[in-house]
Chain A
Amino acid sequence: MQTAQKTVTTLKQHIVEILSDSGEGAQRCGQSLGAIAARTGNGIWTVEIIPAEIRPPARSIAGASGNRIRIGATRVTNGGDETDLVVAFNEQVLLGRVRAGELKPGCTILLENMWRTHADPKIAAAYAETHARLLEAGYRVLEIPMEQACRALVADPRRGKNMFALGMLCSIYSLDLQLAREQIALTFGKKDAAVVAQNVKLLEAGHEWAEANLDFKYRIPAEPVTAPQVVINGNTAIALGVLASGMEICAMYPITPATSASHYLSDVFEKVGGIVHQAEDEIAACAFAIGASYAGKCTVTITSGPGYSLKQEAIGLAVMGEIPLVVVNVQRGGPSTGQPTKVEQGDLMAAIFGSHGDAPKVVMAPSTIEDCFYSIITARRIAETFNMVVVVLSDASLATSQQPFARPEFSESWVAPPVDQSAIPEGMKPYDWNEATGLARRFIPGQPNGMHTLTGLAHDRASHVAYDPESNEESIHFRSLKLAALQKTLKTPPVFGGDSGDLLVIGWGSTQGAIEEAVATLREEGRKVSSLHLRFLQPLPGGLRQIMQRFAKVMTVEGNWSDRPDDALIDEDNRRYSALALLLRARTLVDVDCYSEVKGQPIKPGTIRRVLLDALKPKAKERAR
């Protein structure tokens, strides 16, 4: 085998993208690369690049489909900054990524070169022009005859080029080809041996081509895996969480980006006696879930922003009737239809304060893929212990990102108990609120002596409609008290970094990895920065103010809107703070600042690092004082 002279560079981490038109298999190539790296023992974080349209035209900027994989020497907690290396099957799909600023300056681009000599002069010209521009912009563009090389092995290189690319990437990242062969066998295992053999041949050809023709190689050290790991995305984790929690019914209505959780659940739930009910609309899905929960089986409804808005009245009913219910909101860009496939953390206030009147509910936010799984189990348990609505706020980033985590060990304690059908003791009322906690036994149909009518109207302890001042205030008091009872059980979250310092960054949800990466980098540079991540947003855990007081400055970093203080019209009287910042200011009376963005992309650790550095500088006004 011919081998080029190689420079081998050892890296701590690298970000690679594979881009193609829809249907050319870049997704599979990327997923396989991530899996091979994970099996090698590298940390990985993969993100799907999904076109917003179902059948975008070929060679279109908006049609880019693929996968972005961050490979690290140690655990990877987020998608990282700009991309270091791209494999693109045509130059147009690349353009969208360039324009979005996703590629690092000088990024290596491995570009399919068949378009240069394309029969259509317009295509050939577009390719030549883009190629020249990319070079001009300083990218390192390597033209690769992928199509030509694949044509020697398969009739239709559109179906196979992805495995050739995988072979090249295995060579570039010094990954074990045998692991890649095994991965292909796993991926195509359901098809016949000929398909596996064909793909292995393409893989080997790609590998061989890169070994012979490329003059560089990377090596990202890996720690061998010692315990079983699962690699799934956040939506699959949520679905598996539903399964493991022992909930039996999921009622949903199709909506992006939540639906893939229900897709997966629809496939597997029935095998363990569960049902995914696709309701006629979001309101019906929520009402259906409430009906099933009321009848004794705590139920989950899974949705995204617009669906969450539609469910508000029904959520209020569950609060009023004290019916346990788990509502998953996989947040997307808003308001209105917004950005269905893009990430945003814009629904925190809606989750906490949504529905009219005083409607206290628990709000949790998973911050890792693993957390997506365990959050649902915890949510179900809290819902049934406190007879409350528990809202789980995931987001589009967690939904489509993959990250390995320790394989969960099934525990029977996760599973919902059977429906309690024991008789209600004589004289007990359906809302016999405990004076200290606000908790009352949940009455379930079928329980003798428990007959009553649950109502969304104001009611007394016997569930009788009651409009008198005392009953109304008493019931609102006890429903609210349950939050305090839960709050007393919450631990103060740990501080990442030092216990005191110049700056404390507080975040929630999917930003944890990026925030902590930025904080760790700054701490290595000697900065006194720490961070804290909240999993419970309602109720907030205790001890936050005490932690905040040990830092000179406190700020949040969030993926939602906040007014820019340097805007001419904005001052302290009208500045709209980010959701968590506003909450924390109200809760702790600490002057919490915020940085937020709504670009539809995960916030990059590099961005956060710059923001924090800026926050550490004394401001002109403060200096003047």
Chain B
Amino acid sequence: MTMMATECLLELCEQRHELEDYQSGVPRWCTGCGDNAILAAVQRLCRDEGLRPEKTVFVSGIGCSSRFPHYMRTYGFHGIHGRALPVAEGVRLARPDLTVFVNTGDGDCCSIGAAHWIHAIRYNMNMTVFLHDNQIYGLTKMQASPTSPRGTKSNTTPRGSTLEPLQPLSVTLGVQNVSFVAQAVDWIPESLFEIVKAAYHHHGFSFVRIVQRCPEWLPKVWDPWLHDPKRILMLDHPQGIRLSDGLKQVYQNQLAHDPSNLDRAREIASDTNRIPVGILYRNPEVPCYEELRATPGLRTTANLKKGFEAELDKFTFWPQ
């Protein structure tokens, strides 16, 4: 038994990873870009959870945020615009042994990939999804996105955008089978990390909208919230995330919100004056699509042959 315990320890030693083990290259995001904060929080999560780099996949679409996988030393899939979610679903269905993360932006998720977003919520496959919402198209150089505030001046809306912005939290909370919805802001690293961690630990489709600053194209859009901590609504609950004393002191506008309360979550999500930060909704009971569809034990060549022959029998004419 002693022998076995030693082996276990060695194993643990070998699998211990440092932050550097998850870092790859120097991010080419702008100075002050919120993506940097998200990357730091996620790399810390990987280290703290001891995620095996070869068993972890970051899937993204196209946009500034979708460069994310390139900066992780894990497996990554930097695909095409809007399609990160269906790619991630395929990965998940094929390989339940892998840990799947998705990085997507407000254009990628809420515009070109909106159909996939709605259905991904419904499939509720076990993955952690970060919506990097900076309310603007960055990589294509400043066009209004579906989440841009009304009146946003951009290259495609030079006299100000005309439509009310889409609210990602409200949309997500409105879809059948929603199982985890949270919101974070890039400028509160402590809470960002706690939220990312809670999302990772949720079994199902964990959707985190991260309010993210774009210093290049919309440098001032979040200033009213950034400079006025009262406009941040901190969600605090024993069933959700407990706020540290430090956070409580800075962000005095707090709400005890039970994340199992969907109706209340929808009300909180519709508050556009303040930014709610924390877990809005969590329901661990929603079944995951990949588990509903699983056919354990049936995938053997012998069984395949048996099934194939049985099907052929249905259509076969034997010699008289």
List residues of A whose CB falls within 8 A of some B CB: 35, 38-39, 224-232, 236, 240, 243-244, 246, 248-249, 251, 268, 270-275, 277, 279-281, 283-285, 287-297, 299, 313-314, 316-317, 321, 404, 407-408, 410, 412, 415, 419, 445-457, 464-465
User: In the complex, which residues of chain A have a beta carbon less than 8 angstroms from the beta carbon of B75?
Assistant: 445, 450-453
Complex Cα spacing A273 to B298, Å: 5
User: In the complex, which residues of chain B have a beta carbon less than 8 angstroms from the beta carbon of A284?
Assistant: 83, 85-86, 115-116, 119
Q: A295-B94, A445-B55 are in contact. Are A230 and B315 (CB under 8 A)?
A: yes
User: In the complex, which residues of chain A have a beta carbon less than 8 angstroms from the beta carbon of B98?
Assistant: 295, 445-446
Q: A280-B119, A451-B74 are in contact. Are A404 and B317 (CB under 8 A)?
A: yes
Q: A230-B312, A248-B94 are in contact. Are A225 and B320 (CB under 8 A)?
A: yes
Shortest distance in angstroms between B150's beta carbon and chain A's nearest beta carbon? 29
Q: Are B54 and A448 in contact (CB under 8 A)?
A: yes
Q: Are B316 and A230 in contact (CB under 8 A)?
A: yes
Shortest distance in angstroms between B176's beta carbon and chain A's nearest beta carbon? 13
User: In the complex, which residues of chain A have a beta carbon less than 8 angstroms from the beta carbon of B311?
Assistant: 240, 243, 268
Q: Are A453 and B77 in contact (CB under 8 A)?
A: yes
User: In the complex, which residues of chain B have a beta carbon less than 8 angstroms from the beta carbon of A226?
Assistant: 319
User: In the complex, which residues of chain A have a beta carbon less than 8 angstroms from the beta carbon of B309?
Assistant: 410
Those 8 A-B pairs whose CB atoms lie nearest each other, nearest first: A291-B90, A453-B76, A273-B299, A273-B298, A287-B86, A292-B90, A291-B87, A272-B307
With A277-B93, A287-B90, A450-B75 given, can you name 16 additional A-B contacts, CB distance below 8 Å?
Answer: A227-B319, A231-B317, A246-B304, A249-B90, A273-B297, A277-B89, A280-B118, A284-B86, A287-B116, A288-B90, A291-B94, A295-B90, A295-B95, A412-B305, A449-B54, A457-B78
Shortest distance in angstroms between A317's beta carbon and chain B's nearest beta carbon? 5
Complex Cα spacing A281 to B85, Å: 13
CB of B165 closer than 8 Å to a CB of A:
no
**Of B85, B87, B304, which one neighbours A415 at CB under 8 angstroms?**
B304
**Of B87, B97, B315, which one neighbours A287 at CB under 8 angstroms?**
B87
User: In the complex, which residues of chain A have a beta carbon less than 8 angstroms from the beta carbon of B315?
Assistant: 230-232, 236
Complex Cα spacing A410 to B298, Å: 17
Q: Are A294 and B319 in contact (CB under 8 A)?
A: no
Choose among A299, A404, A455 the residue with the greatest number of B CB atoms under 10 Å from its CB: A455
- Sort chain B's interface into a size bin: 35 or more
Complex Cα spacing A455 to B95, Å: 20
User: In the complex, which residues of chain A have a beta carbon less than 8 angstroms from the beta carbon of B86?
Assistant: 279-280, 283-285, 287-288, 291
- Nearest-CB residue, chain A, relative to B297: A273
Shortest distance in angstroms between B121's beta carbon and chain A's nearest beta carbon? 11
**What are 29 residue pairs bridging A and B, where the CB atoms are less than 8 Å apart in the complex?**
A228-B319, A230-B312, A231-B315, A240-B308, A240-B312, A248-B299, A251-B90, A271-B307, A277-B93, A283-B83, A291-B87, A292-B90, A292-B93, A292-B94, A294-B77, A294-B87, A295-B98, A296-B95, A314-B80, A404-B317, A408-B312, A410-B309, A445-B91, A446-B97, A450-B75, A451-B74, A453-B24, A455-B76, A465-B70
Shortest distance in angstroms between B140's beta carbon and chain A's nearest beta carbon? 14
Q: Which of B51-95 contact A (CB under 8 A)?
A: 53-55, 57-59, 62, 69-70, 72-80, 83, 85-95
Q: Are B54 and A292 in contact (CB under 8 A)?
A: no
Q: Are B317 and A272 in contact (CB under 8 A)?
A: no
Q: Are A445 and B317 in contact (CB under 8 A)?
A: no
List residues of B whose CB falls within 8 A of some A CB: 24-25, 53-55, 57-59, 62, 69-70, 72-80, 83, 85-95, 97-98, 115-116, 118-119, 293, 295, 297-301, 303-312, 315-320
User: In the complex, which residues of chain A have a beta carbon less than 8 angstroms from the beta carbon of B308?
Assistant: 240, 243-244, 272, 410
Complex Cα spacing A38 to B118, Å: 50
Complex Cα spacing A314 to B81, Å: 10
Complex Cα spacing A293 to B297, Å: 21
User: In the complex, which residues of chain B have a beta carbon less than 8 angstroms from the beta carbon of A251?
Assistant: 90
Complex Cα spacing A465 to B69, Å: 12
Q: Are B76 and A407 in contact (CB under 8 A)?
A: no
User: In the complex, which residues of chain A have a beta carbon less than 8 angstroms from the beta carbon of B118?
Assistant: 280
- Nearest-CB residue, chain B, relative to A447: B54
Q: Are A294 and B91 in contact (CB under 8 A)?
A: yes
Complex Cα spacing A274 to B74, Å: 28
Shortest distance in angstroms between B220's beta carbon and chain A's nearest beta carbon? 31
